[in-house]
Amino acid sequence: GAVVSQHPSRVICKSGTSVKIECRSLDFQATTMFWYRQFPKQSLMLMATSNEGSKATYEQGVEKDKFLINHASLTLSTLTVTSAHPEDSSFYICSASWTSGDTDTQYFGPGTRLTVL
Amino acid sequence: GENVEQHPSTLSVQEGDSAVIKCTYSDSASNYFPWYKQELGKGPQLIIDIRSNVGEKKDQRIAVTLNKTAKHFSLHITETQPEDSAVYFCAASRGGYQKVTFGTGTKLQVIP
């Protein structure tokens, strides 16, 4: 149990275009999902906390108008990178926590490799 | 906010030996400490976690210890195998949907 999927696994896009990444909890409901960014050989940096039915909470320094987050259901959160530029190239990873029971543990998706040309 | 430091950044051990990774945290309100294993190009995988009401937890070859007074916790892997080679991250959280702060990672190499 506690499987999180992401789609797509990798995407290459041109500078100036927008890219949408989906994060799904496959076998559990997740009130809260988290979006991280990881640069090569670095740790995971939290970008935002996504709550079902409400606005996301962004970490300091993360542009909310550039990284649009929508958490429309208890099993799906999306991250849209708008007007992507080469410096947005990174590994984007989502995680999800159970709605009830063990709400401490975060289960991570496999990540999405974004390359902006 | 929380700050998690992790050492060493790289660790090479012979197959069969033990590996120890140490972390310290700064927020005394943190009460949940997970450890993740990340293989190249993949998302982190939870391997073990410990909560502040417990001092030690073991799962087969993996054990974690927690010293709340000193604010440090450690991961111990015994009888290491080549498939243990990966990057390991410690993390700390206040639990219950609160954000998780990650350490800087340890690249473990197990030499056959």
| Measured distance CA(B20)–CA(B5) in Å, rounded | 14
SS3 A52: coil
pLDDT digits (tens, 9 = 90+) for B55-89: 999 999 999 999 999 999 999 999 999 999 999 99
pLDDT digits (tens, 9 = 90+) for A89-99: 999 999 998 87
A103 part of contact set with chain B, CB < 8 Å: yes
User: How confident is the model at residue B44, as a pLDDT?
Assistant: 95
Q: Which long-range contacts (CB under 8 A, 24 or more apart) does B25-31 make?
A: B25/B71, B25/B72, B25/B73, B25/B92, B25/B101, B26/B2, B26/B71, B27/B1, B27/B2, B27/B3, B27/B92, B27/B94, B28/B71, B29/B94, B30/B2, B30/B92, B30/B93, B30/B94, B31/B93, B31/B94, B31/B95
User: How confident is the model at residue A1, as a pLDDT?
Assistant: 67
Q: Kindly state the average pLDDT of the residues A30-55.
A: 91
3-class secondary structure per residue, B42-111: CCCEEEEEEECCCCEEEECCEEEEEECCCCEEEEEECCCCHHHCEEEEEEEECCCCCCCEECCCEEEEEE
- A90's tokens: 């990174």
- A7's tokens: 């789609």
Q: Kindly state the average pLDDT of the residues A31-57.
A: 91
Residue A88, φ and ψ in degrees, nearest 5: -85, -5
* Chain A positions in Cβ-Cβ contact with residue B34 (cut-off 8 Å): 105-106
Whole-number percent of chain B with pLDDT over 90:
88
CB A69 within 8 A of CB A35: yes
Average pLDDT score, chain A: 92
| DSSP code, position A64 | T
| Measured distance CA(A4)–CA(A75) in Å, rounded | 9
A44 part of contact set with chain B, CB < 8 Å: yes
pLDDT digits (tens, 9 = 90+) for B92-111: 999 877 889 999 999 999 99
* B38, B100, B106, best to mutate vs chain A, most A CBs in 10 Å: B100
User: How confident is the model at residue A83, as a pLDDT?
Assistant: 96
B residues 14-73 closer than 8 Å to A (CB): 32, 34, 36, 41-46, 49, 51
A113 part of contact set with chain B, CB < 8 Å: yes
Token pair 């401490």 is found at: A104
**Among A56, A51, A42, A58, which residue's Cα sits nearest to residue A90?**
A42
Name the least confident of A3-12, A100-109, B1-10, B31-40: A100-109
Answer whether A105 sits within 8 Å of B46, measured CB to CB: yes
| Measured distance CA(B24)–CA(B27) in Å, rounded | 10
Which of A43, A104, A107 lies nearest to residue B93, judging by beta carbons? A104
- A25's tokens: 């909890």
* B25, B48, B97, best to mutate vs chain A, most A CBs in 10 Å: B97
Token pair 């909470």 is found at: A57
